[in-house]
């Protein structure tokens, strides 16, 4: 759990979703991945323009989420493709924000390090 100073310095912000305060980083990723619930994913989806998550959305989110919980890291690209049975391109298309800013964020995975 980050300290108050870290929250301020890193540009974190709090949103009240599903009746509780949830901490996000400056790009809208959960700071504490354990805050994630399916209800939270639905709320995040609505605020990113998805009125209702489809079966494909859920297939991707549940796979990514379960993989993260079991392995402590995001799945590889080829694992996403193989295990969801959907192309990365199609997943990118159906999530506003794409894979990184959409699917990964809605699945409650940490903000990935970018070079």
Partner 1 sequence: MSRIPRIVYLDNAATSFPKPRAVLDEMMDTYSRLGVSPGRGSYDLAAECETYVYEVRRRVNDFFRGDRPERVVFFHNSTDALNTAILGLASPGSHVVSSRLEHNSVLRPLHHLRDRGLISFDLVPFDGRGFIDPDDVAKAIKPATSFVVLNHVSNVLGTIQPVSDVGRMCAEREVPFILDVSQSAGVVPIDMRTMQVSAVAFTGHKSLMGPTGIGGLVLRDGVDPKPLRFGGTGFESWSPVHPENYPYRLEAGTLNVLGIIGLNAGLRYVTQRGLGAIHEHEMSLVHALRDRITSLDAVLLYCAENLHNHVALLTCNIRDLDPDDFSAILDGDFNVATRSGLHCAPLVHEDLGTSPRGSVRFSFGPLNSLDDASAAANAVAAIAGLRSQ
* Residue positions annotated with a catalytic role: 115
Q: How far is CA 29 from CA 25, 58, 78, 87, 112, in A?
A: 5, 18, 23, 23, 9
Quick one: tokens of 100? 């990184």
Q: How far apart are CA 21 and CA 8, in angstroms?
A: 16
Q: How far is the CB of 90 from partner 1 (least distance, A)?
A: 9
Q: In this chain, which of 92, 94, 96, 111 binds partner 1, going by CB under 8 A?
A: 92
Please pick, from the candidates 17, 30, 80, 109, the single residue that binds partner 1 as defined by CB under 8 A. Answer: 80
Which residue ranges make up the site for partner 1 (CB under 8 A)?
Answer: 76-82, 87-89, 92-93, 97-101, 112, 114-115
């Amino acid at each position: 759990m980050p300290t108050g100073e870290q929250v301020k310095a890193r540009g974190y912000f709090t949103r009240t979703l599903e009746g509780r305060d949830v901490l996000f980083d400056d790009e809208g990723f959960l700071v504490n991945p354990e805050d994630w619930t399916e209800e939270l994913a639905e709320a995040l989806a609505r605020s990113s323009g998805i009125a209702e998550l489809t079966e494909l959305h859920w297939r991707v989110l549940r796979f990514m989420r379960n993989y993260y919980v079991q392995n402590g890291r995001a799945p590889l690209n080829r694992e996403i493709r193989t295990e969801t049975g959907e192309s990365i391109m199609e997943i990118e298309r159906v999530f506003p924000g794409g894979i990184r800013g959409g699917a990964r964020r809605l699945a409650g995975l940490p903000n990935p390090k970018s070079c």
